[in-house]
A and B are shown apart, each in its own frame.
Chain A
Amino acid sequence: MSVVPGPSSSLRHEAVSFAGVVERNWYLIKRYGWWELAFFFWSLANTLTIVFIAKGIKAAGGQIDVNRATTTLLIGAVIWSFLGLVFEFMTETVAWERWEGTIEYTFMAPIRRPVHLAGVGIFAVLYGVLRSAVLFVVIALMFGLHMPDANFLAAAIVLAIASISFMGIGTMTSVLPLISPEKGAQLGFIAQGTLLVISGVYYPVSVLPGWMQWLSTISPATYALRGIRHAILDGAGITSLWGDIWPLIIIGVIAFPLGVWIFKQGEIYAKKHGKLKRSG
């Protein structure tokens, strides 16, 4: 007697589970629709505080190409907001499930953890891309920015490749609410800030002290920011961006499996010490 289905149905099973994660997140976003709008205005305000800096320097008598400087800052601010969304969304998924108590049901279901986490991550990235794109367009229009040479397709490809690493880092941060439900979710912000400060979010990496410059070489955000700026400001294509793309591929290939491995360790710890339960 065999009560367990065979491996033939396994691939379909993974695909359905994966779609389930995406579907669930869609339901939640739908239910909290008005909050989306409120948070969008918050990120808009945040981004504006940065983007006005270029005009401010000019007004103070600085010699600066306002259009180029504003676009440079805008790209940094939009990536900042994008990473914030991705990390927050990924940590939040675990924190939220813990809060609702559904995490026990998710963790006792026959789903492979990499599939589960990839589902969460890909949704977070798509959602982040959508909101960041709107943010970018709104501000570019507000400032009447000219981007005559921009190669948006190349920029999107760089972002997509970088997102594999971002998903990996997001997975690492999402392990924390598993261990500390109250404070763990905050760690997304720490990861976001640390990553961006060493990656030249509003300045070239060359202005950083030596040890930070060294760190910037292993940060995927460094290559993402530089590649996207190159594509949007100078119209660089994929071939001239290769120098930023190959490090992203290498970091991504390491970061996502590493993230899943770390998450798995967190899960084992939680199952050893009874951290998944809320009550009963």
Chain B
Amino acid sequence: MFAVEVDNLRKEFFRRDAARTHMRKRRRRVAALEDVTFTMERGECLAILGQNGSGKSTLVRLLSTLLLPDGGTATIFGHDVVRDSRSVQRLVNRVSVEASFFKKMSSEENLSYAARFYGMGPTETREKIPRILSRVGFPRDRKHEGMEHLSRGMQQKVALARALLTSPVLLLLDEPTTGLDPRSKLEVQDFIREVRRTHDATILLCTHDLQEAEILADRIGILDRGRLIALASADELKERYKADTLEDAFFSATGRSFEEEDEDAERGVFA
């Protein structure tokens, strides 16, 4: 059985046009994800590369039951994300770009709130939370401080701790290092590597960072305007596109440069 099996997955959103016709704002369906198909083995780390608005977060949300697909199927260890969402929810956790916590509550309080929904009682969290916080390198003496007083890097570490606390079999990382300073970024990356070593976790990592993808992932998928246009190891990608670097491979695959974050008028990037 595959850890993740995605088949022809499709998601559309309504988008309002700026222009009005007949006094009414037109609404169009725009596909954020189109016919995406892939599988992941248990224990694998797969990186998804894509520009802003390419559909990375949409894919993560579909896999974490936060969005309902408009077509196709996705299963996590054999459980369908729509029909068997509760089983999926027990298996999955996620870290997103934004840490998302109750700002006034402390890291400890935020973590125990999150853990309760996974059936972890006070005895369990009293023991596990300090341990996991120290593993992500969170200073002990700050665990009673409100989240609003912590730096972004620190908050992101707490977010990682929140995700790991529930021992997910599938960990969805949506740009976990975006916006972090180089040092925090390295710390978070180190930690992801450690998680791979010590936990039996399958990781889907969405990122803008080519280097991050190359050092952390077994295989790299390129998502372009909602379509998965390539999926292979970094070396295979370079070979296939006759490129020296992953960046050149990405350029050849998508037909444009990775840095060129053009506002794609047709798709309407407002993510």
Interface residues of A (CB under 8 A from B): 1, 3-5, 9, 12-13, 16-17, 19-21, 23-24, 27-28, 31-32, 100-102, 104-112, 116, 268, 271-274, 276-280
Contacts and interface: CB of A to CB of B under 8 A. Distances in A.
Contact of B61 (A19, A28, A102, A277): A277
Contacts of B68: 268, 271-272
A197 to B, nearest CB: 35
Contact of B113 (A5, A23, A276): A23
8 contacts: A5-B90, A5-B119, A13-B118, A23-B112, A24-B105, A109-B114, A110-B87, A111-B117
Contact of A101 (B98, B119, B162): B98
Contacts of A19: 116, 121
Nearest to A278: B98
B13 A108 contact: no
Contact of A27 (B13, B79, B93, B109): B109
B240 interface: no
Nearest to B1: A1
B224 interface: no
A278 B270 CA distance: 11
Given A28-B104, A108-B64, A108-B92, 15 more contacts: A5-B119, A12-B119, A13-B119, A20-B116, A24-B102, A28-B105, A31-B105, A100-B102, A101-B98, A104-B66, A110-B87, A271-B68, A274-B67, A277-B57, A280-B175
A9 B61 contact: no
Contact of B66 (A16, A27, A100, A108): A108
B120 interface: yes
Interface string B1-40: 1000000000001100000000000000000000000000
A-B pairs with lowest CB-CB distance, top 8? A20-B116, A13-B119, A101-B100, A109-B117, A110-B89, A31-B104, A280-B97, A24-B113
B77 interface: yes
A268 B66 CA distance: 9
A13 B77 CA distance: 21
A13 B115 CA distance: 11
Nearest to B11: A274
A101 B99 CA distance: 8
Given A102-B101, A104-B100, A108-B94, A31 B146 contact: yes
B77 A105 contact: no
Interface of B: 1, 13-14, 57-58, 61, 64-68, 77, 79, 86-87, 89-94, 96-98, 100-105, 109, 112-121, 146, 162, 169, 174-175, 271
B89 A108 contact: yes
Max chain A Cβ within 10 angstroms of own Cβ: one of B66, B90, B109:
B66
Contact of B90 (A1, A4, A106): A4
Contacts of A110: 86-87, 89-90, 117-119
Given A23-B112, A280-B174, A106 B117 contact: yes
Contacts of B1: 1
Contacts of A102: 100-102
A12 B119 CA distance: 7
Nearest to B174: A280
A36 to B, nearest CB: 13
B98 A108 contact: no
Contact of A3 (B14, B64, B169): B169
B116 A3 contact: no
B90 A16 contact: no
Contacts of A277: 57, 61, 66
Contact of B114 (A3, A105, A278): A105
